[in-house]
Structure 1
Amino acid sequence: MARPRSPLLSRARIRDTALELIDAEGIDALSMRKLALELDVKAASLYSHFPNKDAVLDAVANLLTQRVDTSGFRSGWRAGLETWGRSYYAALSAHPRAAPVVAAGTGRREDFLAMADAVHGGLVGDGWPPRHATMIAASVKYLVIGAATTPFGSGFADDTRVYLDRYPNLVQAHLIPDHAEEIDEDSFELALGCLLSGLEPLHASFADAAARRRRAGTSR
């Protein structure tokens, strides 16, 4: 029996190929027809695995979300946010063109919903009021998405002549593109650390208020 010309189709193979196309050309370039051409199959073959392009994008979003670690919340809210934020940033910065797929919303994406549930539960379980837990999770998400999709060095030319005379405060800016990855990673760490340090006194105030309520309740 002759061997198939190309590997058999599977949901995982279709999803992974879609991610490769997004990485190379962006989300707008992805279509079921183009995906079929890349896989060397007829477009109709894809529909036995995914009903439409949106379902493929959901699978891509779930794949990236699976690489995000929420286990740190077992050690407290700050450790949880550090682990979650760093792993979230690593997952999306490795595929910046696919980041909008994750950022677009949850829909019925099971892995995204499980991640959101773990983050919210970890924060509330360690003393944050639900409303603040929601805002904190949103703040970290904004930081991650922005850092993963907007490299700082992309705004600067590597030609020193661009900055001479006219922009005296940017005479070293031509060096930024050569250190772009380092700058982006260090800047993300700085922003995340400042956010978490700024939350510390607020969390302490909630803990103090909760302790006062407990004391008041036991004194009755």
Structure 2
Amino acid sequence: MARPRKPLLSRDRIVGAASALVDSEGLGAVSTRRLAAELGVSGPSLYNHFRNKDEILDAVADGVSAKVDLSMFDPADGRDWRTALHDYAVSYRAALTEHPNIVPVLARGPGRRPAGLRVADAVFGAMVRAGWPPAQATYIGALMRYFITGSALGSFASGFVDDETAYDPEDYPHLGQAHLLAERRQKVDEGAFETGLRALIEGLALQYEQLSPAKERPGTVRRTPKGR
């Protein structure tokens, strides 16, 4: 019998099937046995491409990291570090909200995942070029990951039921409109993210102003006191 022109199995096929399972049923649905059944192959054949389930999930997570726009950190892009951090955070969150079930894997950090490491490298490099000390640049990279992945781990708005009788005003005098939050989930969650992101970056900007004299910080214009 002639061999098939296309291989029955590939890393991309396995990752695609695993990603679909994670998106539809969550991390607990993924097993090598389940994936083999979905792909119509024998279980051991998966091990020709991945050593175990954790490696498959790492590949799924890295596929999500690869969707994050990093162009704002290119030295030729022209955006200052504040705008770059904001735009990066928005892009990262957008990628996570499309695949929320994989967030716990991403939250563990990049490990050896190539796309995840490129994200970390881009953020750190951009902050150092902007004049942040390496230690502070590391903290900023960590802070952004905490904030972005944390925002994608769950929805504040959907944590409330849409039953207006659920929140007795005698017990919860300030939750009279809480039952409306669930139906306004996207607006509430996006508004909360943007509010927190602006506050975070404004706070970093205050720290940045205290780092060193303006002439030592790239992209900073020294202000001339009035009357001089």
Correspondence for 2:159: 155
Distance across 2 between alignment mates of 1:62 and 1:143: 19
Q: Matches of residues 120-131 of structure 1 in structure 2 within 5 Å? A: 120-131=124-135
Distance across 2 between alignment mates of 1:208 and 1:143: 29
Note the residue ranges of structure 2 that are not aligned, 5 or more in a row. 218-228
Matched position secondary structure for 2:210: helix
Bigger helix fraction: 1
Matched position secondary structure for 1:93: helix
TM-score scaled to structure 1, two decimals?
Answer: 0.88
Matched position secondary structure for 2:213: helix
Matched position secondary structure for 2:211: helix
CA drift of 1:210 comes to: 6.1
CA drift of 1:48 comes to: 1.6
Distance across 1 between alignment mates of 2:94 and 2:2: 42
Distance across 2 between alignment mates of 1:15 and 1:39: 11
Note the residue ranges of structure 1 that are not aligned, 5 or more in a row. 213-220
Runs of 4+ in 1 over 4 A off after TM superposition: 1-4
TM-score scaled to structure 2, two decimals?
Answer: 0.85
Contact 1:69 1:88 (8 Å CA) reproduced: yes
Correspondence for 2:52: 52
Contact 1:127 1:207 (8 Å CA) reproduced: no
Matched position secondary structure for 1:162: coil
Correspondence for 1:41: 41
Distance across 1 between alignment mates of 2:18 and 2:106: 14
Correspondence for 1:115: 119
- 1:175 lines up with 2:184 in the alignment: no
Correspondence for 2:221: none
Residues 144-176 of structure 1: CA deviation (Å, up to 9, x unaligned): 111111100232111010113321210100000
Distance across 2 between alignment mates of 1:207 and 1:71: 28
More deviation in 121-130 or 79-88?
Answer: 79-88
